[in-house]
């Protein structure tokens, strides 16, 4: 949402409600392709309730955790890009007649004032033109209109500055996911209709891309915190034990059968909302835009049997999102087992780290 110098290397900093993730990439050219290699990577869990429902409550704790990620993983680059999501961020897909740049800027302001449910003065507005498929005559402009509340931006930017980092850009979660997807799954990006579901602590981001063109963005107010609280209540266990359940760890006096039953019920609640989103999309689009693949990202993506439950319920091939699928790393610097186990959690941070290319 803020323009960047293309030659500046950035650290992708995903400030999630459960943990802070950081990725620094370095560009690598292999066989004529501009690719990336992981330079540094870090992950630290936040104190409980430091961030609640996407709002930073304890900025000091979040800033200290950001510092810890950088210090523990020897990340010396202080230039970062972050992302935001939730009900303070609005993304609308609109169509306008083709026009000159100056006219377009005026039209965007008019469209923003009529499409944003907040006073225009309280938001920062940006837009991106969606490129049409090749050989398609562009008589109209398909545009993604993005608006974020200024207080949300201040909430996050002030905390990053408190951590003594240089904030170079603020992105939107789903755009970071799109960047990561395009780089790591080029054949999917160009040829398939794919849904990316990023399962976070408070928010689940849903992004649908049809053959290279983003079609739908939605943030669902469901995530790990919601499921953890339900597990705690339904199984009469502490929040700490409920978090163990999500990590597939045993909990005293609770049988695997009990856990499976309650967890399955909560996952079905999540799938209800995902299914509604998919049905809405497919109802307004042509048959050829039916979703062909689902990629699961985020901290909850590796929840036991989640891939199977998605496939069973939605009848769509589902797999875990791997943000290191075409991004290389040195086995001596990054444990391959750690990279494989934690990969889905770094989907947004990896996408943010590519933002230096000026996308």
Most confident of 99-113, 166-180, 328-342: 166-180
Q: What are the strands of the beta sheet with 140-149, ordered from one edge?
A: 89-97, 140-149, 123-129
Q: What is the pLDDT of residue 6?
A: 47
Q: Which domains does the chain have, with CATH numbers?
A: 11-357 (3.30.420.40)
Beta partners for residue 12, in sequence order? 23, 81
Confidence of residue 3 (pLDDT cuts 50, 70, 90): very low
pLDDT for 358: 44
Across residues 72-95, what is the average pLDDT? 94
Please tell me the predicted confidence (pLDDT) of residue 65: 98
pTM: 0.91
Please give the share of the chain, as a percent, with pLDDT higher than 90.
67
Phi, psi (deg, nearest 5) at residue 265: -60, -40
Average per-residue pLDDT for the chain: 90
- Lookup: tokens for 274: 């995902």
Count, residues in the chain: 359
**Given this model, what pLDDT does residue 75 score?**
97
Q: What is the mean pLDDT of residues 118-144?
A: 80
CA separation for the pair 136, 307 (Å, rounded): 36
What is residue 285's predicted lDDT score, i.e. its pLDDT? 66
The mean pLDDT value for 50-58 works out to: 94
What per-residue confidence (pLDDT) applies to 286? 61
């Amino acid at each position: 949402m803020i323009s960047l110098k293309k030659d500046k290397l950035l650290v992708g900093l995903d400030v999630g409600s459960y943990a802070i993730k950081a990725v620094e990439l370095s560009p690598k050219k292999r066989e004529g392709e501009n690719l990336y290699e992981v330079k540094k990577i870090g992950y630290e869990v936040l104190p409980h309730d430091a961030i609640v429902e996407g709002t930073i409550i304890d900025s000091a704790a979040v800033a200290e955790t950001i510092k810890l990620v950088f210090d523990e993983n020897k990340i010396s680059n202080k230039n970062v890009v972050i992302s935001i999501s939730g009900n303070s961020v609005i993304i609308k897909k609109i169509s306008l007649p083709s026009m000159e740049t100056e006219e377009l800027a005026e039209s965007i302001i008019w469209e923003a004032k009529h499409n944003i449910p907040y006073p225009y003065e309280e938001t920062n507005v940006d837009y991106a033109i969606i490129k049409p498929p090749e050989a398609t005559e562009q008589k109209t402009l398909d545009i993604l209109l993005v608006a974020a509340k200024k207080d949300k931006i201040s909430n996050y930017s002030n905390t990053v500055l408190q951590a003594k980092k240089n904030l170079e850009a603020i992105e939107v979660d789903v755009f970071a996911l799109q960047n990561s997807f395009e780089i790591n799954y080029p054949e999917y990006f160009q040829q398939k209709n794919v849904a990316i579901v990023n399962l976070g602590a408070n928010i689940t981001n849903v992004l649908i891309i049809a053959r290279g063109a983003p079609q739908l963005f939605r943030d669902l107010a469901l995530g790990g915190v919601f499921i953890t609280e339900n597990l705690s209540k339904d199984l009469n266990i502490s929040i700490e034990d409920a978090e163990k359940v999500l990590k597939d760890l045993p909990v005293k006096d609770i049988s695997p059968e009990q856990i499976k039953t309650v967890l399955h019920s909560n996952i079905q609640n999540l799938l209800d909302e995902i299914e509604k989103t998919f049905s809405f999309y497919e109802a307004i689009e042509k048959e050829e835009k039916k979703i062909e693949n689902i990629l699961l990202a985020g901290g909850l993506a590796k929840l036991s049997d989640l891939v199977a439950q998605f496939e069973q319920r939605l009848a769509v091939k589902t797999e875990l999102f791997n943000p290191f699928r075409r991004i290389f790393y040195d086995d001596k610097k990054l444990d391959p087992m750690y990279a494989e186990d934690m990969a889905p959690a770094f989907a947004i941070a990896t996408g943010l780290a590519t933002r230096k290319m000026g996308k």
